[in-house]
Structure 1
Amino acid sequence: MWQPDRLSNQPLYQQIADDFERRISYGEFPPGTQLPSERKLAEQLGVNRSTVILAYAELRALGIIESRTGSGTRVSQYKWGVTPKHTPNWHRYVEGGTFLPNLPFLRRIREALQQNSGLIDFASGELGADLSPAKEIGALIAENPYIEYLGYDNPQGFVPLRETLVSYLSKYRDIQTTGSSILITSGSQQSLYLITQCLLTPGDAVAIEDPSYCYSLPMFQSAGLRLFRLPVDRKGVHPDDVRALYKKHRIKMVFLNPNYQNPTGVVLDEKRRAELLDVASELGLPIVEDDPFSLTAYDGNPPPPLKSIDSVGSVLYIGSFSKMAASGLRVGWMVAPHSVVERLADARQQMDFGLSVVPQKVAAEFLGSAYFQPHLERLRMQLLFKRDLLIEALEKELPNLVSFAVPQGGLHLWCKIIPEVNDHKLLEEAIRRGVIFAPGSVYGSDSGYVRFTFARAKAEDIVTGIAKFAAALRAVLD
């Protein structure tokens, strides 16, 4: 966010007024846009409220903004000048469309992280820089600097990457497939988007876990799907619940994250896996398996995916580079019947003409290199270390106030706050004290749950971050 230059000879209020005038003239704030309150803008810019009052007064004098009691301050409906000119009502367009915006909590988290890079981050669901194989990938790029072709790629994805994935999936996930049954995507989220848009119809009923990462994705509601819950207990979802939802609502698809489930960290019980596949084959029901965390198993023995024991082809399998190496490369994959792959590849080509060849080549080189296995071992060790730091800090700072199950893999710890607490107040107080987390209600849970992601924060900040969270929780409870 823009900040005034405190070393400039120009008064702060004038810098603020000039910045708003420029952004309004560029159309960033169209006519009618509600501007931040004087108090909020002062907090964002780190200035006195009186400075903002002067800046707004300057803009009002120019006829650029207008203020009304009870309605706040808005950009004037007409651009200044001799002849008023109408501008499109961008607010109406923004509020229209079928693709819904992110949940308010997620927008608040993103806003807070953008405004304050010093926040201790337990909210972002990605690896921190200390866990990413940046040096190894840099070495591979130096060793293999050339790419023969930089035009549009195969709609299914870079052929060498798909060939590498055939070996990778066989070795690490016990999934036997071919390159023609693999679609390269920009990550798990794009895979889910393609499935919801191309394989389902508005009004279709689908089953998702409760709580579930899927609740945080507005793409399901944007696609017009009806969501039904599958409760997650310490052994995962129960196959009988799938059968019951099918009988009652004729669900068309089941979305699962069976290994180190996001957000709970639960692993689906082995017996339930077999029963679930039996139910799916009996009902002809597709299962979408999202499997981003399995290779983070701290003991080095990742649980098998459903796809590895799927004998009838019920499972669409989704994987990603993001949670085990580098989210910035934006490389994921889907294993599906060839007809499904062709359908989704055609749709994706209409969206972007295919992914960039460069990150796909890097991913192929890394997955097939001697760097990959040592990176996994180091990643598991560091995640385990961070998990233990987090648990030790919670037990020290919040005895008898929180409860949780200890995850054996993944990036998250799912925590129940025992006293009743308001999610919104707790999040705001935590941000004020310098730490941020993901409230459980983001994932469809009741108020009073928290997801701590320990992969993003630096190890040396985890204890301090939990101390800040504990202070925020006690302040809200008091």
Structure 2
Amino acid sequence: MDYQFNPEHIFKVVQMFPYKTTIKLNKSLKEPVYLQLANQLILLIREGNLTPGTKLLGSRILADLLGIHRKTVVACYEELTLQGWIESFPKKGTFVNTKLPNTQRIDFKTTESSPLKQKTGFPFYKNKVLLEKKTEKKEGVIYINDGTSDTRLTPTNEIARTYRRIVSRKSIHKYLDYGSPYGNIKLRETLVEYLNDTRGLNISKENVLITRGSQMGMWLSTQLLLTQDDIVVVGETNYSSADITFLHQNAEIKRVSVDENGLVTNEIEKLCRKDLIKAVYVTSHHHHPTTVTLSAERRIHLLQLAQKYNFAIIEDDYDYDFNYDHAPILPLASHDTYGNVIYIGSVCKTVAPVFRIGYLIASKDFINEAAKLRGYVDRQGDALLELAFADFIKSGDLDRHIRKVLKVYLQRRDLFCKLLQTELGDFFQFKIPKGGMAIWLQLHQKYSWEEVAIEAKKHQLEIGEWQRYDLANKKHNAIRVGFASYNKEEIVLLIDKLKNTLISLKNKERL
């Protein structure tokens, strides 16, 4: 197709288009100036500001206008010609390629001031169940969490040494290729030995799938267990992320009571008699969020019910290692002889959240299916990190770290509870937890966590998503408050801010 030369059209475009104010070049960037210019001209073409057939300025004129060397513009035009964006005609000049389709013009002034695209140009599905997780934090503000480890105590030197030793091996190249969706075999074998010794399990590597934290294990299990309207049983108070994972799968959640002995299994039995139960989710060691432990009697009863009614038990053992008054209680999985328990855990809570290494323990056939699914959403884990943690566990570094932080967290628990009682005893009720990294804190009924959260902001204290602790709308007026991640000074400051918040509310009541 021959280009139809229109001098009048060209003259108007050349005179009217503000190259000098539109094109911004930065010689300090690593990207060559000619490519910066080329990419910006491409953007102007794509946005319809330079339409097909538009004559571009000559190389000398554009160079003078932008304050760059003529050879830079020549190199830019050559690049655009090779890419098919422009074409040159002897004695006529350089033009935007006439074969390009016309596009709707976008005002470059608007584009410049709003570079972020706010809305898509296509429909997509939004899920009302999933919640946005906010992670940005402001300096000087104390944030209440629901029980996380203190990352300042992370054994970074030991992990770094182990990692360096791993990557310096001559054979390391074989771990840099695609690996198994099951996870690194050395870590799986190490976990088999470690979990069999510490948790009384009786498993082999075929029962282990390495995940990126316990949440992935829960998600994979839910995908395989539940579909539209399938019933999963949880506590009236429950880990909110578990609830959301089940609801995202369109499962039906049925709730049972939670008392000082954990899930009330008699209520689970009643549900089994009238409904087809597909799964029961339990945090047996320290119930999330209330911290209570599932009693021995109810553990046996739950296992018997699972065998009789053929449902799965998803056992989320998120903080097995942290016990202050007694030795850890063996998980349900250690007593499972019929393949009913799916056991989920991780090192994220124990060491630091950044190390996304968890495990899913179940029967071989279930693990095989979970591995196939995992392979399509996350091809494999971080093989080098998995190797490093295999050595970290095998060397005894993990156990040494646990013993060290256990003493620290015990001191923090005692201080936190003491200050809560002495400074805020008129406002709260709580029981000192036997383990874990958090307290179940019940507010006096004359106040609400909503008003506390609003008032706390004035004192640079963030309560967080207090609503997630009562998804069943039982109005228990309690939330889970972590203590492990704060040192002595931070605990004192947190309690002081919380005290000032509640005193402010109390004074408002008197007005």
Shorter-chain TM range is: 0.7 to 0.9
The one-letter code of the counterpart of 1:269 is: S
Q: Is the 8 A contact 1:133 1:326 kept in 2?
A: no
Match of 1:175 in 2: 201
| 1:203-245 Cα shifts (integer Å, max 9, x gaps) | 1110112211145652222111111112211110121111112
| 1:87-128 Cα shifts (integer Å, max 9, x gaps) | 89439857x33473316xxx5xx36xx241332232154212
* Cα distance in 1, alignment partners of residues 498 and 422 from structure 2: 12
Q: Say if 1:197 and 1:183 are closer, same or farther in 2 by CA, change over 3 A.
A: same
* Cα distance in 1, alignment partners of residues 445 and 210 from structure 2: 45
| 1:255-294 Cα shifts (integer Å, max 9, x gaps) | 0001012211111111111111111111111101000211
Match of 1:356 in 2: 382
Higher mean alpha-carbon deviation, 365-374 vs 378-387, is at 365-374
Match of 2:354 in 1: 328
Q: Say if 1:409 and 1:458 are closer, same or farther in 2 by CA, change over 3 A.
A: same
Q: Is the 8 A contact 2:130 2:248 kept in 1?
A: no
CA apart distance, 1:308: 0.7
Give yes or no for the alignment of 1:293 onto 2:322.
Answer: no
Give yes or no for the alignment of 1:201 onto 2:231.
Answer: no
Q: Is the 8 A contact 2:209 2:360 kept in 1?
A: yes
Aligned sequence identity (%): 28
Q: Say if 1:150 and 1:215 are closer, same or farther in 2 by CA, change over 3 A.
A: closer
CA apart distance, 1:464: 1.1
Q: Say if 1:159 and 1:458 are closer, same or farther in 2 by CA, change over 3 A.
A: same
Give yes or no for the alignment of 1:306 onto 2:332.
Answer: yes
The one-letter code of the counterpart of 1:420 is: K
Q: Is the 8 A contact 1:194 1:347 kept in 2?
A: yes
* Cα distance in 2, alignment partners of residues 216 and 476 from structure 1: 34
Match of 2:345 in 1: 319
Instruction: Choose from 106, 116, 120 the match for 1:90.
Output: 120
Q: Which residues in structure 2 correspond to 1:58-457 (within 5 Å)? A: 80=107, 89-90=119-120, 93=123, 96-98=125-127, 100-102=129-131, 107=133, 110=134, 114-123=136-145, 125-146=147-168, 147-148=172-173, 149-214=175-240, 218-299=244-325, 301-438=327-464, 440-444=466-470, 446=475, 448-457=477-486
Computed over aligned residues only, the root mean square deviation of the Cα atoms, in angstroms, reads: 2.5
CA apart distance, 1:130: 2.7
CA apart distance, 1:309: 1.2
Q: Say if 1:305 and 1:438 are closer, same or farther in 2 by CA, change over 3 A.
A: farther
The one-letter code of the counterpart of 2:400 is: P
* Cα distance in 1, alignment partners of residues 249 and 159 from structure 2: 37
SS of 1:385's equivalent in the other structure is helix
Structure 2: tracts of 5 or more residues without a match: 1-42, 44-104, 112-116
Q: Is the 8 A contact 1:427 1:439 kept in 2?
A: no
Aligned length: 392
Match of 1:19 in 2: none
SS of 2:277's equivalent in the other structure is coil
Q: Say if 1:273 and 1:440 are closer, same or farther in 2 by CA, change over 3 A.
A: farther
- Where relative contact order (Cα < 8 A, 6+ residues apart) is larger, the structure is 1
What is the TM-score with the length of structure 2 in the denominator?
0.72
Q: Is the 8 A contact 2:150 2:352 kept in 1?
A: no
* Cα distance in 1, alignment partners of residues 443 and 147 from structure 2: 20
Q: Is the 8 A contact 2:167 2:384 kept in 1?
A: no
CA apart distance, 1:446: 2.4
